[in-house]
Amino acid sequence: MDAGARPVESRRQLGPQDLVHLTAQLPLEITPVSRNPSAQPLEPSSCALRLLQPLAHRCHPPITGIVSCRREGLRTQLLLGFGGNQGDVAATFAGTLSALGAEHPVVAISRLWRSAAIGPPQPDYLNAAVLIELRTTPQALLRRCHELEHAAGRNRTREPRWGPRSIDLDLLIAPGLVVLSPDLTLPHPRLAERRFALLPACELVPAWTHPRLRRPLAALLAALDPAAQPCHPVGPWGPTGRS
């Protein structure tokens, strides 16, 4: 090599661990959950996410991850949606809540709400919201919810889209938490469109702000037409009682 020649700079593509290292000083957490080349990369939904997006797109394969705008050590609350229209729905909800509450402390429970079903002709749905303390990752909670649905008689592989079911458990929203992964989107992608989800949610956390739409849940509910999506309160329920 000539004395005046410059050495060839070694370049490599960034990976998930590089992104974690580069963001270590930011007041948030990021946990890569997929290295699928077809996975959707991070999308901006807050100032912190906009800072991360250029780094995420430089990674190969693109990173899909959990971004939480909270400092480590603080407890995270998450809102779950319960729905169902087959069998004794209140009893199914109560049994499922008892099993779930043994793993994630239950903070509050909404009333039951009745609404017309979406999809093929079928009985009305009962819906409720449950506020829990999240003690695992959202993906682990989603897997647990699917196990509880199966235990209650639901078969996701055979049921028609928006068909009748004994129970449907949805992860709705957690404050400051955005998840974009192949198996889970949080907040729920259709939360802002559904009165049957927002009504029980607003009984518990009306001031929570949707981290992507940047509007309180109460404002999202007020923007929907009650006549187009009629919902009616039914009454209380819980692990030890029925509506």
Domain ranges across the chain: 16-68, 79-235
Q: Give pLDDT tens digits for 37-72.
A: 343 433 333 333 333 444 334 433 333 344 443 333
Q: What is the mean pLDDT of residues 146-175?
A: 88
- pLDDT score, position 87: 92
In angstroms, rounded to a whole number, what is the distance separating the alpha carbons of residues 106 and 131? Answer: 6
Q: Which of the four pLDDT bands, split at 50, 70 and 90, describes residue 119?
A: confident
Rounded to a whole number of angstroms, the CA Rg of the chain reads 21
* Cβ–Cβ under 8 Å, residues 95 and 167: no
- pLDDT score, position 153: 85
Q: What is the mean pLDDT of residues 156-166?
A: 80
- pLDDT score, position 164: 86
Catalytic residues: 154, 165, 168, 170
Q: What is the mean pLDDT of residues 157-163?
A: 76
User: What's the pTM?
Assistant: 0.70
| 151 pLDDT more than 60 | yes
CATH topology of domain 79-235: Alpha-Beta Plaits (3.30.70)
| 16 pLDDT more than 90 | no
